[in-house]
Structure formats: structure tokens, C-alpha cells
Amino acid sequence: MWADKSVLTELRSAFSHYDEKDIESGLNKSLDLYVKLARGVASKLGYQYPSKAENFVRRLAEVNFHRGI
């Protein structure tokens, strides 16, 4: 298997249909999955996870999503 079973399960919900609420949900699930994987990689490699960058991206995505961009 190319990825952990839990990652594959989460990945299934990261894609959306053409519906505003579903698109927003897919975006948030994609961000959540990316964060989970990035934190794991950072931890294993001894790097500090860039939480400020994550918070910035989440705010940017939320603001732009609700502005229709």
C-alpha cells in the first residue's frame, strides 16, 4: 500500500463535489491532512513545525473562500 490506511481514509474526504459547502469542507479536510502529515515529518526529522505559517494559510483560505476568490 502506498500510504497508511488512516491517510487513505482521510484523503477520500479531501475531495469535493461542485457545491460550496462541500468545497469548503474538502479544503479544510485537505488542510487537516496536510498538517497531520507535515507535523509527523517535521517530528521525525527533528524540525520545528511552522505553526504560524499554518495559521496564516488557514486564515487566508477562509477569508478568500468567503470572499469568493
pLDDT in tens, 18-58: 778 888 888 898 999 999 999 999 999 999 999 999 999 99
pLDDT higher at 69 or 65: 65
Environment class of residue 5 by beta-carbon count within 10 Å: exposed (0-12), middle (13-18) or buried (19+)? Answer: exposed
Q: Which letter does DSSP use for residue 61 in this model? A: H
Segment 8-27 mean pLDDT: 80
Residue 69 reports pLDDT greater than 80: no
How far apart CA 54 and CA 48 sit, in angstroms, is 12
Residue 15's pLDDT band, with cuts at 50, 70 and 90, is confident
SS3 at position 31: helix
